[in-house]
Structure 1
Amino acid sequence: MAFHPALPLLVAGTGSYDGGYFFEGELLLLDLETGMPTSLIEHELGRQVLGLEWLNEQELRVLMAPPDDWQDKVAWVEGHVAVLRRPDWRAVPPRSVTAYDLAGPRVTAPRPDGREDARQRVSSLSTDWGPRCNVRAVEELSDGRTLATLDGIQLESWLPSGQRQWAVPDDEGGRDLVIAADERSAWVGLVRPEWEKRPQSVVRLSLEDGAQLDHLTPSAPVSLVRCTDGLLSLPHLQDQPGNGAGFASGVAAGSTSGRP
C-alpha cells in the first residue's frame, strides 16, 4: 500500500499464484474521502502486485510478478517494474491501466515466505486452529455469531466463544451471502465456474444447523443482493462488453420458494 503524497488517496496491490499457471491480482485506488475503491487493471486476471511507491504526485512505481510461470522457472524470484503516469489520480477511470502501461523491465523480486512465521504466531495463541482459505463473505448476527463463506464450505457458523457451530461442505464453496431479516436463514451463492459446465446454484440454509431449505438454479451466473424491501435480487453477471447487468426475479429473503 502507498498513500498519495498530496491527495486523499491510497493505492493498494493484491495478488497471489492461482495454483497452476497465472499470478493474479488487483491494483486498487481508494478515495479516502468517499470510501470508494477503483479497480485499475484492464485485464480480468490483473497482475500480482508486489510493491508500490509514489515517485511524485503524478507517477506511481509498480512492481509486479510476471503474468505467469509458463516455461519460466525464475518467475518466482523476478518481476517487472513499471511507472504509471496520470495527471490527476482522482480522475482515473476503472480498468484503464492496460498491458502496455504495465510493460517494464525484468528485475529481481524475491517473495519472502512468511507462512511459517504466521503459523508459529497463531499456534502460540491456540493449538486448535485451521487455515481459512479464500474467505469470500463474512456477516455478524445480532446474537454474536459470525457467518462466513469460503473455499470448500458453502457456509459456516462460529459462536461468540470462537468455536465453530456448524459448517456445510461443498466442492467449490460459497461466494455471496444474504441473511434473512429474521436471521433464521440465509441465501448463499455457490461458486460454479462456467467452464465446469455445472448448473449455477443458489441455496437457502437454516442458520440453526445449516440444513438446506431451498435451492435455485439460475440460468446464468448471478450475484446476490438483499433489497431494501427484503426481497432477494439476483443480478446476472454479463461477460459480454457493452451489456448491462440483467436481473433475475426477486424472492423474499426468508421465503421457502422462488424462481431464478
Structure 2
Amino acid sequence: MSAFEIRTDRVLGAGPFREIGQPRVVATHPDGEVIVVAGALIRPQWHGRDVSGRSRPHSGWYPAAVYRSGDLACMAHFTTRWPANTIAFHPTLPLVAIGTGAYDGGWAYEGELLLLNLSTGTTVSVLAYPREVRQVAWGDPQTLDLVLAIPCDEDEQRFGTTSLACSIQRDDWDRATTAMLRMPYGETPVPDGPRTDLALAATIIERLCHQRGLRWVARRAVWAVDSLPDGRIIAALEGVRLECWSPASEEPLWRLPTDGAGCQANVLPDGRTALAVTQTARRFEDRRWTIDPSVVAQVDLDTGAVETIHEPAWPAIVVSRADGWWALRGTEHTGQATTEEITLRSPDGAPAATVSLGRYDLFNHFFDIRYTPDLLFLQGRADKPWQDKWVVAVDVPEGSMRRLFPLEWDESRGGHLFGGCGAYLDDRSGPALVYAGAVHDGAGLLPGNAFVVRRAYPTGELQWVFTADHEVTALDADGDFIYVTFNSGELVLLRAEDGAVQARQELRVNGHRVVPLSLVRLSPDRLAIGTLDGRVLICSLAASPDLASDQE
C-alpha cells in the first residue's frame, strides 16, 4: 500500500493538442464532431544521454489522439510503434483506419494498419506482417483501398516503384482481430506519391485552434527543470534554451527560443544565474553524420538575458558540483572524431585545467549527480572506454583525478552497467550517492535490469538497490525520500534510508498517461516534472487516504 498519493495541481505549458507533440496527419469526421490527430514525440535521446530503453512489450514514441471538435478535449490517447502517414474514417461504422510506417534505413519498409474503434478507444493491428502503409481510403463500407510500401529494398527493381496499391473487401471490419489480413493482397505498382506533409498538419491544427479562440504552440521534450529560491521554475526543452515560470503564471515570464534543443539547465549557487546547454541536431552531409559544437549560455534568471556564451569546440555536457565549479565534457565520438578531454571552469566561468578521461558515449558515460561536493564522472578502460567503468572525482583547480569505486557493485555478476542521473545526500546513514542506471544485455533492456542504487560516499559500499523494468529518466532526493521517474510514465517515491517504496503512481494529465523526462523537488511535498510532450507538471504529495483511514 502506498503511503503517499501524488496529485497534479497545475500544468505549465498546457494547451490544445499537447498530447500529440509535432502533428503529422489530421482528419476530421464528416459530421464534424470528432478530430483524429497523429503526431510524433522526440525519441528520448540527446547528444549526451539516452533514456529510451524499455523492457518488452514496448510501444513507440508516436502518439495519436481523438478530440471532441467543440472544445478540442482529448477523448482517447494511444501510441503507435511507427509514425502515422494517413487517417480515414469509415463511412458508416465508428471506425478509423490509421496507416503507419517508415523505411528502417537499411532494408525494410515496416509499419502497420490500425483500426481504431471510436466507441471503445481500442486499436487493432490487422496486417499479418509489418508493412509501411502510405495511404488509406474507404471505397465503400466493405472496401478499404490501400497503398503499401514494398516489403524491402530488393523489391524496388522488380516493381520499378516503392509503392503498391490494393483493395481489400470484408464485411467484418467492425469485428477486426489482430493480423486478420494475410498476404497476398493483390498489389499493383503505382507511382510514389508525396510524403506526409508536416507543415500542412501544423497549419490545420493552428486553424482549428484559431477558430475556437485558442492558440497552438508546438512544445516537446522538457529535458531539464530546476527551481529558484523565490519559487520560480526554469525549464529547457526542444526549441527553447531556457524559459522561466512564476508559481502562478499562465505564460512564461520569459523564454529564450533556440535552434535545436535545450538539454541541460544548472542553477549556479548564487540563485541568480544558470548554465543552459543547447545542441542542434546532427546532419548527414558528404556521406557521414556531422554534429555542431554545443553552446553553453550563462543566463540572468531575473531578466532572461544571456550574459556569457561559452563555445566549446565540440558537443559537450556540463557537470557541476555544489559550490559552483563546473566542467565541460566532450561527447563527440562519431566517425574519426573522438573528444577525450574535460575542461574545468570556476564558478565565474573562467577556464582552469584540462583533463583527459577517455572517450564518452551517451549510453555509457552520462553521470549527472545533483548536490555533490565533487566533480564526478564515469571513466572506463583506455582501450575500451565502455567497459569496467569507475566513478572518478576530478579535483579543482589543478585537475588531479581520484578513482573512487567501480560502477558495478556486484563482482560476481561483472555486468556492463550504463550510467544515469542521481543525487548526493548526507543523512542519518551518512554521505552517499543515489543514482540510476541499467545493466546492458544484447537483447535490449530486460525486466529488472534498470536500477536505482544507494552507495556510501566515497567508498562505494552498497547500501540498497531498487530494480525496475524501464529506464529512469530523472531523480531527486532530500533527507527522507528519493523521487524517481521512469519512461514508462511512472513516478516512484523511495525511502532514502533503505529504498523501501513509499508510493508509485502512473502520471496522467486529464486522465491520459504522460512520459516524465525531468524532475526537481520544489519543497518537501511538491515536485516539478517535465514531460516528453512539452509540459511541466506541478505535483504535490499527500498522505494516502487509504493509509489515513487505516490509522484512524
Give TM-score scaled by structure 2 length: 0.26
| Structure 2 counterparts to residues 141-220 of structure 1, below 5 A | 141-163=228-250, 164-195=252-283, 197-220=291-314
Deviation at 1:143, TM superposition (A): 0.7
| Structure 2 counterparts to residues 61-76 of structure 1, below 5 A | 65=81, 69-70=102-103, 72=109, 74-75=111-112
| 1:136–1:18 CA distance, 2 compared to 1 (3 A) | farther
Residue deviations 1:137-192 (CA, integer Å, cap 9, x gap)? 11111211000011211100001112411011112231111111011111111022
Give the one of 53, 59, 66 matched to 1:50.
59
In 2, the alpha carbon distance for the partners of 1:215 and 1:80 equals: 54
CA contact (8 A) 1:47 1:64 kept: no
Identity %: 22
| 1:209–1:194 CA distance, 2 compared to 1 (3 A) | same
| 1:66–1:168 CA distance, 2 compared to 1 (3 A) | closer
| Structure 2 counterparts to residues 73-92 of structure 1, below 5 A | 74-75=111-112, 77=114, 78=125
| 1:80–1:221 CA distance, 2 compared to 1 (3 A) | farther
In 1, the alpha carbon distance for the partners of 2:22 and 2:235 equals: 23
CA contact (8 A) 1:154 1:170 kept: yes
Q: Which has the larger radius of gyration?
A: 2
CA contact (8 A) 2:297 2:306 kept: yes
CA contact (8 A) 1:159 1:165 kept: yes
Q: Verify: 1:133 aligned to 2:220, yes or no.
A: yes
Between stretches 130-139 and 204-213, larger displacement belongs to 130-139
| 1:213–1:142 CA distance, 2 compared to 1 (3 A) | same
Give the one of 312, 315, 329 matched to 1:235.
329
Deviation at 1:248, TM superposition (A): 2.2
Deviation at 1:232, TM superposition (A): 1.3
Structure 2 counterpart of 1:75, one-letter code: E
CA contact (8 A) 2:315 2:330 kept: yes
Deviation at 1:132, TM superposition (A): 3.2
Deviation at 1:76, TM superposition (A): 5.8
Counterpart in 1 of 2:499? Answer: none
Residue deviations 1:81-128 (CA, integer Å, cap 9, x gap)? 9xxxxxxxxxxxxxxxxxxxxxxxxx65xxxxxxxxxxxxxxxxxx68
Counterpart in 2 of 1:29? Answer: none
| 1:236–1:48 CA distance, 2 compared to 1 (3 A) | farther
Deviation at 1:75, TM superposition (A): 3.1
In 2, the alpha carbon distance for the partners of 1:151 and 1:158 equals: 17
In 2, the alpha carbon distance for the partners of 1:47 and 1:80 equals: 20
- Structure 2 gap ranges (5+): 1-20, 25-39, 45-50, 61-78, 84-100, 115-124, 130-177, 180-213, 284-289, 355-552
Give the one of 291, 310, 320 matched to 1:226.
320
1:223 alignment partner, SS class: strand
- Structure 1 gap ranges (5+): 1-15, 27-37, 52-62, 82-106, 109-126
Deviation at 1:130, TM superposition (A): 5.0
In 1, the alpha carbon distance for the partners of 2:273 and 2:128 equals: 47
Larger RCO (CA within 8 A; separation ≥ 6): 2
| 1:25–1:129 CA distance, 2 compared to 1 (3 A) | closer
| 1:39–1:214 CA distance, 2 compared to 1 (3 A) | same
1:208 alignment partner, SS class: coil
Aligned length: 174
| 1:48–1:198 CA distance, 2 compared to 1 (3 A) | farther
In 2, the alpha carbon distance for the partners of 1:233 and 1:18 equals: 38
Structure 1 counterpart of 2:300, one-letter code: S
Structure 2 counterpart of 1:162, one-letter code: S
Between stretches 174-183 and 225-234, larger displacement belongs to 225-234
Give TM-score scaled by structure 1 length: 0.52
Which has the larger strand fraction? 2
In 2, the alpha carbon distance for the partners of 1:18 and 1:206 equals: 34
1:239 alignment partner, SS class: coil
In 2, the alpha carbon distance for the partners of 1:221 and 1:134 equals: 19
CA contact (8 A) 1:221 1:237 kept: yes
2:326 alignment partner, SS class: strand
| 1:18–1:209 CA distance, 2 compared to 1 (3 A) | same
Measured on the aligned residues, the alpha-carbon RMSD in Å equals 4.5
CA contact (8 A) 1:200 1:221 kept: yes
